[in-house]
Structure 1
Amino acid sequence: MEVAVIIPAFNEEERIGKVLEVVTQVEIISQLVVVSDGSTDDTAKTARLFTKDVIELEKNIGKGGAIMAGFAYSQADIVLLLDADLIGLKREHVLALLEPVIQGEVEATVGIFSSGRLFTDWAQKIAPFLSGQRVLKRTILKDIQKLDHTSYGFELALTKYLHARKVDVKKVFLYGISHIMKEEKLGLYRGFLWRLRMYWQILRSINVDIK
């Protein structure tokens, strides 16, 4: 049984290396795929220090499209999705997400931040369905349509699909982990505008039909 990690990334050269360093320490992972989603920095160059499987998209198509591009590239039986800007990721976090699916306990897991940073902990407790840290069997993603059009609404659209199909999903609490906020990456004003765009894309995904 092969396990692949797919990490979508947009201008994450300063942060992605720490995530990849941890992932490469997990022996059960057979493939590490990074999708540089139209990045204008050295995200792809940094990723190639850790893996040969780097996809460079010419333009930014959004998180959903980047993830599905990585999925189409990989043929692994189990797929782990991780954000590129995680803080505090450890090997045990990765294993905690993977093992329930590998062992056949459930078909999918979703990671929930806990005991990390106040705002990210609070946000995930209110809306755990928006977490980008997930493990899924390939057969689940293969059967979903239109996820490549959801951008930042990917997680909500995926959650809707899993709920509608009564897929057994286990919540895994990831202690001491969080991520960089948009306002920290881009500055207060640009970060706030990006956050509004992200929330708009999430709201739009509510009406996406992904049979």
Structure 2
Amino acid sequence: MSVAAIVPAYNEEQTIGVVVQALLSCPVIDEIIVVSDGSTDDTVYVASAYPVKVVTLPQNVGKGGAMKAGSANTSCNVLLFVDADLVGLQRSHIEALVEPVLSGKTAMSIGVFSEGRVSTDLAQKIAPSLSGQRAVRKDLFDAVPKLEDSRFGVEMALTHYAERHGVDIVRVTLPYVSQVTKEEKRGLIPGLQARMEMYKDIVRSMLPDKKAHDEDYNEE
């Protein structure tokens, strides 16, 4: 099985380089794809300095759309998604997250922060299903309906779909990993506004959609 690491990024020039370097250090990763989701800073410029594929979306379509664009640009059968604003990501974390899927133990694994920053650790302990760090079989990911419209609700949509289809999701502890908060990146008020928009996306992803129909997926 081959693994593509996909990094959706929106204005992450400060941290994208460190995340890409961690991914490049891991031999289990066959391909790295950075998806710039309408970034207006130097995210594309920084990412392009590394031997990775950079997909540039002209407009911001949201995290779900960026992740779908990443999947559409690879033929690897395992997808590893990591956030572009991570702090402390190491090769050991990447290998631990991918291993349950590569070994056939599960079709999806989710990374949960531990022993990092109190705020990010607490958020993930309360709602681990919202973690942006996960490995998933490509056929499972591609079968989830309407991910391109889910924006920040993408992780909840992925988790709920997997659970409905009998996937035994494996949670992997990621010690000493955290991420830069929206308030730190954008300032207090704009960051809080962005956080509220994120929560709205998550809530929308939890509401039933009578028009959505699941694609066929069978875990083998």
Superposed CA RMSD in Å reads 0.9
In structure 1, runs of 5+ residues without a counterpart are: none
Matching residue of 2:48:
48
Q: Would you say 1:103 and 2:68 are equivalent positions?
A: no
- Shifted more, 100-109 versus 179-188: the winner is 100-109
Task: Report the alpha carbon displacement of residue 210 of structure 1 after superposing the two structures with TM.
Answer: 5.7
How far off is 1:52 after superposition?
Answer: 3.9
Aligned counterparts of 2:185 and 2:38: Cα–Cα separation in 1: 17
Contact 2:101–2:109 (Cα < 8 Å) also in 1: yes
CA drift at 1:142: 2.0
Deviations 1:59-92 (A, max 9, x none): 1000000000010111101000000000110100
**TM-score, structure 1 as length reference:** 0.98
Q: Secondary structure at the match of 2:124?
A: helix
Counterpart CA distance in 1 for 2:51 and 2:185 is 25
Distance in 1, Cα, partners of 2:175 & 2:115: 5
Name the SS of the counterpart of 2:61 in structure 1.
coil
Structure 2: how far apart are the matches of 1:28 and 1:114?
23
Match of 2:217 in 1: none
What CA distance in whole angstroms lies between the structure 2 residues aligned with 1:210 and 1:80? Answer: 25
How many pairs are equivalent?
211
Tell me the TM-score normalised to structure 2 length.
0.94
1:50 shift after superposition: 1.6
Other-structure match for 2:121? 121
Per the alignment, residue 80 of structure 2 pairs with 80
Which moved further from structure 2: 34-43 or 49-58?
49-58
Matching residue of 2:22: 22
Aligned to 2:195: 195
Among all aligned residue pairs of Structure 1 and Structure 2, give the percentage whose two residues are the same amino acid. Answer: 45
Shift of 1:118: 0.3
Distance change >3 Å, CA 79–CA 203, structure 1 → 2: same
Deviations 1:109-135 (A, max 9, x none): 000000000010000000000000000
**CA shift digits 1:82-110 (9 cap, x unpaired):** 00000110100000001111111211100
Give the aligned partner of residue 147 of structure 1: 147
Instruction: Tell me the equivalent position of 2:112.
Output: 112
Deviations 1:149-189 (A, max 9, x none): 00000001111101100112100000000100000000001
Q: In the alignment, which residue of structure 1 is the partner of 2:137?
A: 137
Does the Cα contact within 8 Å between 2:34 and 2:52 map onto a contact in 1?
no
Whether 2:204 is the aligned partner of 1:204: answer yes
Aligned counterparts of 1:105 and 1:159: Cα–Cα separation in 2: 17
Tell me the residue number matched to 1:160. Answer: 160
Unaligned 5+ residue runs, structure 2? 215-220
- The whole-number CA distance in structure 1 between the counterparts of 2:113 and 2:52 is 29
Separation of aligned partners in 2, 1:70 and 1:96: 22
Whether 1:90 aligns to 2:90 is yes
Contact 1:82–1:133 (Cα < 8 Å) also in 2: yes
Confirm or deny that 1:180 pairs with 2:185.
no
